[in-house]
Amino acid sequence: MSGLKIKMGKKFAFTVIMGILILVTVFGLYKPLPAGISYKSDTYKMDNVEFFKDMTYQKDGKRVIEQEIFAKMYSMIDEAENFILIDMFLFNDDYDRSKSNGFIPLSDNIVDKLVEKKKLNKDIRIVFITDPINNFYGVYETGCIKRLRENNIEVIVTNLDKLRESNFLYAGVYNLFLNWLGVEGAGYISNPFSKDSEKVNIRGFLKMIKFKANHRKVVLTEKEGLIVSANPHDASSLHSNVGFSFKGDIIKDILKSEEAVAKLSGKTLDIDANSVRKAENAGNIMATIITEGKIKEEIIKEVNKTNKGDSISLAIFYISDRDLVKSLINASNRGVDVKLIMDANKDAFGIKKNGIPNRQVACELIKNTQEKIKVRWYDTKGEQFHTKLIKIDTQEKSTVISGSANYTRRNIDDFNLETDIKLEMDKNDAVSNEINEYLNRMWENKEGNFTVDTAIFYEDNLLKWIIYYVQETLGLSTF
């Protein structure tokens, strides 16, 4: 009899634990978003938008590097008087130094600029927000972060615990059974990002596999704002990227969205929004800030409004979101001209990748539109085509959405932290024309070898498509 009671007790305990695990897992997937997350700002009329691009490509057998984005960041830091706010995902110099790479020391350059600025102006408020990947989720602190702190520059390493769980099946187990272990303590495992960097521990690895991120890429001062797809990360320094700068009251709205990120970590920005300089915005560009899931809402809304004779152009590092893929297919099948310039997902900091998800999505787009959707691959040579930009031209206007967000479930379905800017303008606006020139230059290989034909990386592989679909749906991936 006692044996039966023990058996029944074990069964009851197992049922209770499994019930709690299911509740924790479901809650992680659907828990309420913190205030200020998934945000859409007011729309502002402006005439001061500038487009910036970084491009790495081949010309006459030699590598050519054209960069504008970080020069703009440096000038913004130089010109700031009241505050500098930077929110950047990757911010470190971890990479395999045994290989010749020609990387630019972006992380140290940014630190040097900020430290110099603080010495010249001790009263300026400087806040640097970043992702916990840069301290390996609490295992150690990088030299870049240490130098900022040592020079009285506030660093906020984002606490991501309050965000939803993309990799929800694993996160349920982690949050219930492993979270209490913490990550503190000496490292004893080789750093996966660089064997030259500090060692890490297994608890840091376990937290990393949750695949959560503050993926934003924003620079703000009282005079100007900048939203980009680029990271101040040495191993990312040769990637191709884009960005947009702007002035005026829209900066106050971005400060609100960044205040929400600071609060996740129990911090406040303590930045006076009233110090933001007024701008004479008499132009015809309408600008809106969108973050997290609002990015997806706006993209799909604009795609779904297109009709025969309109056009959609994407320049994208990752695309895998199922709703967006279906919207693009539907748009093409009703007569919209759809073109994509994509990264082939073959390189990641010296590691060869398997082409998932872009090659599988490209195959699906082409097959399900009877080859009406056109794809070209950016011809990377170890670096990445890291751009995130969509341009939609209708009879009435041009709409551009760009920023930090890749077009994946993690990035635009209220899991990662992301910031994009939406610009609506006349089709003949100077900014619209400049973006057209950028896209056409890559598509047509003007004055350089930028892109290659669809067939080069076309993969009609059912097994890889299933792997992509499972990873996208369950969050079992880094894309």
- Whether 282 is in a domain gets the answer no
Which amino acid is present at 147? R
CA angle 467-469-473, nearest 5°?
120
Measured in Å, how far apart are the chain's first and last C-alpha atoms?
A: 54
Give the per-residue pLDDT at 186: 79
List the single range of 40-54, 226-240, 350-364 with lowest mean pLDDT.
Answer: 350-364
- Whether 3 is in a domain gets the answer no
**Residue 260 in contact with residue 394, Cβ under 8 Å?**
no
Place of tokens 């759809």: 338
Q: Please report, for residues 206, 309, 331, 432, the alpha-carbon distance to residue 312 in angstroms, rounded to integers and kept in the order given.
A: 40, 10, 9, 13
Q: Please report, for residues 201, 208, 335, 384, 415, the alpha-carbon distance to residue 184 in angstroms, rounded to integers and kept in the order given.
A: 9, 14, 56, 33, 25
Separation CA 102–CA 99 (nearest Å): 9
How many other C-beta atoms are found inside a 10 Å radius of the C-beta of residue 1?
A: 5
Domain's final residue, options 275, 298, 322: 275
| In a shared domain, residues 159 and 261 | yes
How many other C-beta atoms are found inside a 10 Å radius of the C-beta of residue 4?
A: 8
Give the per-residue pLDDT at 15: 92
Give the per-residue pLDDT at 1: 59
CA torsion sign for 128, 250, 297, 25 is positive
Separation CA 47–CA 29 (nearest Å): 41
For 144-207, the DSSP string reads: HHHHHHHTT-EEEE---TTS--SSHHHHHHIIIIIGGG-S-S---B--SS-TTSPPB-HHHHHH
Q: Please report, for residues 73, 123, 178, 438, the alpha-carbon distance to residue 152 in angstroms, rounded to integers and kept in the order given.
A: 20, 11, 34, 40
Q: How many domains does the chain have?
A: 2
Separation CA 45–CA 284 (nearest Å): 6
| In a shared domain, residues 342 and 428 | yes
Token couple for 200: 């890490």
Say which residue, 444 or 11, is predicted with more confidence.
Answer: 444
3-state secondary structure of 348: strand
How many CA atoms within 13 Å lie on the side-chain side of 327?
19
DSSP state, residue 46: E
| In a shared domain, residues 337 and 393 | yes
Per-residue pLDDT, averaged over 428-442, amounts to 97
- Whether 359 is in a domain gets the answer yes
Give the per-residue pLDDT at 99: 67
| In a shared domain, residues 203 and 61 | yes
Give the per-residue pLDDT at 346: 94
Confidence of residue 290 (pLDDT cuts 50, 70, 90): very high
Give the per-residue pLDDT at 48: 92
- Whether 408 is in a domain gets the answer yes
- DSSP tally for the chain: helices H, then strands E: 13, 19
Give the per-residue pLDDT at 168: 97
Give the per-residue pLDDT at 17: 93
Per-residue pLDDT, averaged over 378-407, amounts to 97
Confidence of residue 12 (pLDDT cuts 50, 70, 90): confident
Per-residue pLDDT, averaged over 443-465, amounts to 96
Place of tokens 């828990």: 31
Token couple for 404: 């930090």
| In a shared domain, residues 447 and 379 | yes
Confidence of residue 7 (pLDDT cuts 50, 70, 90): confident
pLDDT in tens, 80-129: 999 999 999 999 998 877 765 789 999 999 999 999 999 999 999 999 99
| In a shared domain, residues 309 and 223 | no
Domain harbouring 307, CATH code: 3.30.870.10
- Whether 31 is in a domain gets the answer no
pLDDT in tens, 17-39: 999 999 999 999 999 999 999 99
| In a shared domain, residues 156 and 194 | yes
| In a shared domain, residues 149 and 102 | yes
Give the per-residue pLDDT at 425: 97
Residue 398 has pLDDT above 90, yes or no: yes
Q: Which domain holds residue 393?
A: 289-474
Domain's final residue, options 211, 241, 275: 275
240: β partners: 385
Write phi, then psi, for 77 (nearest 5 degrees). Answer: -65, -45
| In a shared domain, residues 270 and 306 | no
Separation CA 359–CA 460 (nearest Å): 8
Confidence of residue 195 (pLDDT cuts 50, 70, 90): confident
- Whether 459 is in a domain gets the answer yes
For 252-274, give one letter per residue: b (16+ CB within 10 A) or e: bbbbebbbbbbbbbebebebebe
**Residue 389 in contact with residue 417, Cβ under 8 Å?**
no
Residue 263 has pLDDT above 90, yes or no: yes
| In a shared domain, residues 294 and 265 | no
